[in-house]
Structures are given as C-alpha cells and as structure tokens.
Amino acid sequence: MPDITLTAVSKAYSAGGPLAVDNLDLTIPDGSFTCLLGPSGCGKTTTLRMIAGLEHPTQGSIRVGDRQLDSVERGIFVPPEKRGMGLVFQNYALWPHLSVRRNVEFGLTVRKTPSAERKRLVDAALTMMQILHVADRYPSQLSGGQQQRVSLARMLAVNPAVLLLDEPLSNLDATLRLEMRAELKRVHDETGHTIVFVTHDQLEAMTMATHVAVMRDGVLQQLAPPLDVYHRPANTFVAAFLGSPAMNLFECGPEAGVLGRQAWKYLSGGGLTGGDVHAAGVHTVGVRPEALRIVDAQESTEADWAFDATVKAVLPTGAAWTISLMVDDTELYLVTTKAIAAVSGDTVRCAAAASALHLFDSSGARNDLADVRPELAGTAHA
C-alpha cells in the first residue's frame, strides 16, 4: 500500500469551535511504524479516527497513494469498511461469549470467507500472536496481555494493509507493556504492514516507531525517525517532551541567569562574538542530562562547555545515577553510569561537548548555528 497523505487537514467538533487538529500536513510512509505522540488532548486520536474514516475532517484531504479517501472540497468520503484498515483500541472489545478462535474468526465470518481458508487465516494470526494454545478459552479466562493479543490477532486475521492502533497497551502492567512492545515490533518486521500507533508515552514511541510525529494542540511539531526527534528536536516543546529526565533547557544571553550568561559567554567565544550569537537568534540552550558529565579540572578540554554546580541530590536508579544540580537558581539534571562520590552540597565541575548543545531561537525553534560554527550543530549523535 502506498503512503498515507494528509493535506491541510483540520477538525473542529462543533461549527466554529476549537480545532482538535489544525491544518495538518502529514505523510505516513508505506511500511512505516509511525507513532502519533503528544500530550493528552493534542489531537492524536482525532487524527487516527479521521484516517480510519470514523471522523470527518472539517477541512482538507486524506489519500492513500492516488486513492482519495476524504476530500472536503470535493465531497469525497470513503466509509471505514472500504478503507482496508484494521483498528485496535485501548479496550480490547472482545466478545465475552465467544471463544478466542471465534473472536479472531469474526471478521472473516462477516466477510463470508470459506471455512477452510478461515481456519488457515485464524491459525496463522493466533500463531503470529503466540496464543494458539488458548484458542478454545473465553476472554474471561485470559490475562490482560493475552486479551490484547487476541484483539491484535483478530485484526491481523483479516489482513488489513494498514493497522491503526490507539493506545492499545495502556491497560497493561509495565512488564506486559514491554513484552507487547517487542511483540508489535516483531509483527511489524514480519508483516511489513503500515502501522499508525497513537501514544502519549514517549518510551513507547522511541522503542517501536520507525517514524514519530510529535503533536501539540492539534499542530504537528516534527515528523522524523525517533533518534532524529531525540537528538535533533525541531523546537523546545519536542526537546522537553522526549527524554527522562527531560532535556535541560535554560535561557541564554548577557541578561540571563548565571548559567545562561556562562553559556552565552562560551557560545560567544571561538571567533563568534556575542553580537553574532545574538544576531543568530540564540535564546535558549538545551543539553540532555546524559550529555553532561562530571569532570576533574584537567579532564575537560578547551572545546567543552564547563561550569561549576552544586549537588542538590544524588538519585541512584540501579543502572545509573540521576544527579540534581543547582547553578545559582537554575536546576538541571545529569545522568551518569559512572558511580560518583559526591553528596548533597558538594561543588562539582560539569562539562558537555559543544556538539551536545542544542540551540533554540526566541520562538523556540531549533537554531543550529551550523553555518557559523559547525561544531555547535548538535550533530554528535545524529
């Protein structure tokens, strides 16, 4: 199936009311695992439901390759059952009075698929989801994870070209969620289906997606592979939304706080004058907690940005240490896998490579300064 393309799609639930989705241009590549990611109410579900044909756009068009599914301007609307898409929601909506096999068979029975073919397709879907051994049980006799596998098997059995999933893992406990993430990724690798997956969980998006579409207030912020979104966020919203702890962000300039003034001084060095930094529009600096390190005075190189900070608290997480630091009244986080001896109240020297700094202008948009100082382009991880 070709790409799914949304062009200038908007949706208001009431005439003249607020836009749940605002002028969305989005291309979901064929065969991709695209996650629609963003905080509650940002328009992810509305977008998914419009792709499915369960909601009508107020404006704009949706097509798959050359096939128009919706066009408000041209009065086109293809009903959900004719779109070749399978849907799975957060609540599995299994029929309680039907066995697992009958549940999975349901869509095929509706389509009047011959019984031998039906059995083959159901067995294949149950095998794919590794639940063939519970085929004769009823939903109430299954764990939450197994029930979710049944709802996925039910969708896979009818072999839709596109799988639309709306927070399908949010009812599962942490262990099952992890297991199902791996499972969905495997299904995607094995089938090559296009998957569109709604989640507000950044870890879910990072771990499974080939592409992440970050939304805010109905507006697309960035569409890119997950590591690009993480390492080259398009703006401060995306930068702050991904990562745990989130990216340290602080205002930078001659009038900013202590840390921001130091950063501004650093950025102004190396042939780039303060005026140039200002002219280039740097307003906010970001640095990921794991890009900061604690150094001995002799360890940081001249190219590093280095500063002194006071340890507020050391928070061991088992695999790593999260350290809360204060520079004057700015709090920032550092994550390290190296055990450190520091305790609350100690002063430590921190450093980050120039390439680990993310620069944003006053509108919050990414500003690489790449033309001026390539080492500040933030490309170390790209």
What character string, x for contact with ligand ATP (CB under 6 A) and - otherwise, covers 212-251? ----------------------------------------
Query: Please, which of residues 255-274 interact with ligand ATP by CB under 6 A?
Result: none
C-beta of 215 vs 377, nearer to ligand ATP = 215
C-beta of 40 vs 140, nearer to ligand ATP = 40
- Asked if residue 15 binds ligand ATP (CB under 6 A), the reply is no
Cα-Cα-Cα-Cα torsion 237, 32, 210, 81, nearest 10 degrees, comes to 60
Among 102, 119, 181, 200, the residue binding ligand ATP under the rule CB under 6 A is: 200
Q: Are 377 and 337 in contact (CB under 8 A)?
A: no
Shortest spacing between CB 221 and ligand ATP, in angstroms:
13
- Indicate if the alpha-carbon torsion angle 33, 36, 40, 41 is positive or negative: negative
C-beta of 49 vs 358, nearer to ligand ATP = 49
Extract the tokens encoding 227: 């590591």
Shortest spacing between CB 20 and ligand ATP, in angstroms:
3
- Asked if residue 366 binds ligand ATP (CB under 6 A), the reply is no
Residues 6+ apart with CB under 8 A from 329: 257
- Asked if residue 327 binds ligand ATP (CB under 6 A), the reply is no
Shortest spacing between CB 241 and ligand ATP, in angstroms:
13
Shortest spacing between CB 368 and ligand ATP, in angstroms:
29
Among 35, 42, 125, 129, the residue binding ligand ATP under the rule CB under 6 A is: 42
Q: Are 2 and 65 in contact (CB under 8 A)?
A: yes
- Asked if residue 41 binds ligand ATP (CB under 6 A), the reply is yes
Among 10, 26, 35, 44, the residue binding ligand ATP under the rule CB under 6 A is: 44
C-beta of 216 vs 358, nearer to ligand ATP = 216
Shortest spacing between CB 146 and ligand ATP, in angstroms:
25
Among 10, 34, 46, 262, the residue binding ligand ATP under the rule CB under 6 A is: 46
- Asked if residue 43 binds ligand ATP (CB under 6 A), the reply is yes
Extract the tokens encoding 2: 């070709």
The site for ligand ATP (CB under 6 A) is made up of 13, 20, 38, 40-46, 200
